Structures are given as structure tokens and as C-alpha cells.
Amino acid sequence: MRFPLHIATDMMRWQLKNWWAGNSRVPVVLMLEPLHTCNLACIGCSPERYTGDLRDRLPLSKCFEAVDECGAPVVSVCGGEPTVYPEIVELVEGIIARRKHVIMCTNAILLDRFYKKARPHKRLSINVHLDGMKETHDFVVDRAGVFDKAVAMIREGKRLGYYVCTNTTVYRETSVDEIEAMCAHLTELDVNGILLSPGYHYEAIEGDDHFLYLEEIHAKFRRILELSKRYRKISSTPLFLQFAAGLREYPCTPWGNPTYTPKGWKGPCYLIDGQHYPTWKEFFGGVDWDYWESRKDPRCRNCKMHSGFEPSVVRKLGENLGDVVTMARWQLESVRNRRAA
Ligand code: SF4
């Protein structure tokens, strides 16, 4: 994923520090879920995410403890819906005060409330969920009007001076023509980044369906890879897009984006409801990382999630000079585009 230069620099510093300390497994983005409450009930989402019960949310102190223990330079605040978290502004400000970068992932329904209380900061990105254009997105989130609200909040965020990105999951059913229309629309809105990631249903591991599914994802991402050459706001790395298109392979890096929830540290990854660990030490020392990196588990066979594999792009970069050149060009291009804007 493309980060602004000051964030990329912080991430490099963090990697060097760990390399110097001899740490081979280094978390880069903490996925912090302060609550499992949501104001939407999207199709396919687990029912526990929209209970409406705020009592099981994490207290601020536990969130900050997780940020400090994990140490990752970037914290992605997700959930549930983070703008429903009553202490969201204090949480964002507290993470920024720790000199971390915050990505707040939101469906945008309550963003106006957040904008009234918060203020833009160079360490804060607003990441709006959009799974297509109006008809598709409103269908996925199972509520009319959410697409229009999201677009209005993107506009308002840009007007107020926020760094605003979007996050799209591409499913088997998603049309790439629609993704292109969405990229054109978001480019007009001058968003700062468009993250596109393959959807993943690990329940579909029986029979031959998943092979078809994987081939379809590859075909879609071959087209998206081409789109990324025209729509420069697409922020998934070119090497990740090649992986999603089936043009290269990577081991998984599940420890790159560890997840902390009201139930504890979730292992092995954001997707698999394996086990929850009460402490960072038990989690980081307790998960069999060799096994999960290998992708031997049937649930991993078709997974191409950016949270598992964008860190692999970084981890494996030094092994191929051509890849280093590709990534350096891509990052420099984004700096040039920003200067030209
Ligand atoms: S391959 Fe996917 S499902 Fe398996 S550990 Fe990695 S991120 Fe999780």
C-alpha cells in the first residue's frame, strides 16, 4: 500500500531499528478493533459486529496499551464502526501523541459528527469503505443512501483538509468496468488513495469452486493491474497487484498486521477466527508463524488479502533488484504526482 512519504520514512526507520536489533518478524500495521458494534449490517459480515451493544468495547487504556506493546508505526482503527466508539477522538489523538500514524476505516455514516470534534493532522488518514458505485455499494451495505453519504463525506473531508482514501473489496461478483467507473469518480473527487483488495471466502474450500474463484480473481486483477497504470491514485503496490493477478507468489506475513479486539489478540490473522490471546507476549510468542507463513492451511489456499501479503512485498523486496527498482519508481512517481497537484 502506498503511504505518504513521511509515513514511509517512519516505517523504514522502524524496520531498520528492528533489523539492527535482530528481530526477523516485525509488525508494521496494528489492526485495532476498539469495538464490535456497527451501525450497518453488511451482507456477509459476522452478526457479532452489529450487536449495537457498546458495553463490550475496549477502554482507551487497553487500546493504548496495545499500541505501545505492538510498537507498529501505523495503527488502523477499524471494528465494528470506529465513529460509533464514544471516545474515538480521544483515541485518535492519543495514538497521534505516541507519534504513530492513524488510518481510521469508516463507512462514513457518522463522519460529520467526527469532523465536528476532530481536526486534520498529517498523521491521520480517513479511509472510507466503498465497494462499488451507488447501486452495488448500497446493496452490499444493505441500506439505501450510504454511497451518497460516503461521497458527501469524502468531499467534506477534502474540504476540511483531511487526507482521505478509500478501501474497496473486489468480490467474485464485482465487475471491473464498475471498478473503473469508481476509480474515475474518486479521481474527480481528488481522493488521496484508492486501495483495492481481493475478497476472500475461505468457507469455499470444498469442491472445485474455489479454483474457479481464484482464477476469476486473477482475471479481474490482471485488468486492475492495467487500470493502475492509468489511475495513479490506486494505492495497492504494483507487486501486490501482480500477486493478486496470479503473476507471482508470496508466503503470507500474518504477523505484519496483528489484530487487537475486545476479545484480545487475534491469531493467526485478521481473517481467521483462530484463537484470542490475552497478552501481546502470549500472542506473538504463541502463534505458529512458520505454519501460517507457509499457507499450508486449507483456509489460506485462496487468500490474497492485502493485510497478509502487502507486508510480504516489503519482506521479500531485497531478494530481487528488479522489484526494488519497480517499487522505487512507483513511490517516486507518487511524490512527483503530489508535487504536480
Ligand atoms: S494466507 Fe490469509 S488466511 Fe492465511 S494466515 Fe495469511 S492472511 Fe490469514
Q: Is 268 in the pocket of ligand 1 (CB under 6 A)?
A: yes
Residue with the smallest CA separation from ligand 1 atom 3 is 300
Q: C-alpha grid cell for residue 228?
A: 493502475
CA of 269 to the centre of ligand 1 (A): 6
Residue with the smallest CA separation from ligand 1 atom 1 is 300
Mean pLDDT in residue range 304-325: 88
Q: Is 223 in the pocket of ligand 1 (CB under 6 A)?
A: no
**Count of Cβ atoms closer than 10 Å to residue 99 Cβ:** 9
Q: Which of 91-105, 209-223, 264-278: highest mean pLDDT?
A: 91-105
- In this predicted structure, which of 15-24, 124-133, 173-182 has the lowest mean pLDDT? 15-24
Residue with the smallest CA separation from ligand 1 atom 7 is 308
H/E run at residue 91: helix 88-97
Longest dimension (CA), the chain: 52
Atom in ligand 1 nearest the alpha carbon of residue 295: 1
Mean pLDDT in residue range 280-305: 92
In the predicted structure, residue 180 carries a pLDDT above the cut 80: yes
Q: What is the 3-state secondary structure (H, E, C) of 25-75?
A: CCCCEEEECCCCCCCCCCCCCCHHHHCCCHHHCCCHHHHHHHHHHHCCCEE
Average pLDDT, the chain: 89
- pLDDT given at position 55: 83
- pLDDT given at position 330: 85
DSSP string, 178-233: HHHHHHHHHHHTT-SEEEEEE---TTTTSTTHHHHHHHHHHHHHHHHHHHHHH-TT
- pLDDT given at position 50: 57
Q: What is the pLDDT of residues 122-146, one digit of tens each?
A: 999 999 999 999 999 999 899 999 9
Q: Checking phi first, is residue 212 left (phi over 0); if not, alpha (psi -120 to 50) or beta?
A: alpha
CA of 301 to the centre of ligand 1 (A): 8
Q: What is the pLDDT of residues 166-176, one digit of tens each?
A: 999 888 778 99
Which residues in 111-129 are b (16+ Cβ under 10 Å) and which e? Answer: beebbeebeeeebbbbbbb
How far is it, in rounded angstroms, from Cα 76 to Cα 249?
26
Q: What is the pLDDT of residues 236-284, one digit of tens each?
A: 999 999 999 999 999 999 999 999 999 999 999 988 877 999 999 999 9
Mean pLDDT in residue range 16-31: 90
Q: Which of 16-25, 148-157, 224-233: highest mean pLDDT?
A: 148-157
Q: Is 254 in the pocket of ligand 1 (CB under 6 A)?
A: yes
Atom in ligand 1 nearest the alpha carbon of residue 292: 5
Distance (Å) of CA 256 to CA 70, 221, 310: 11, 23, 9
Q: C-alpha grid cell for residue 164?
A: 482521505
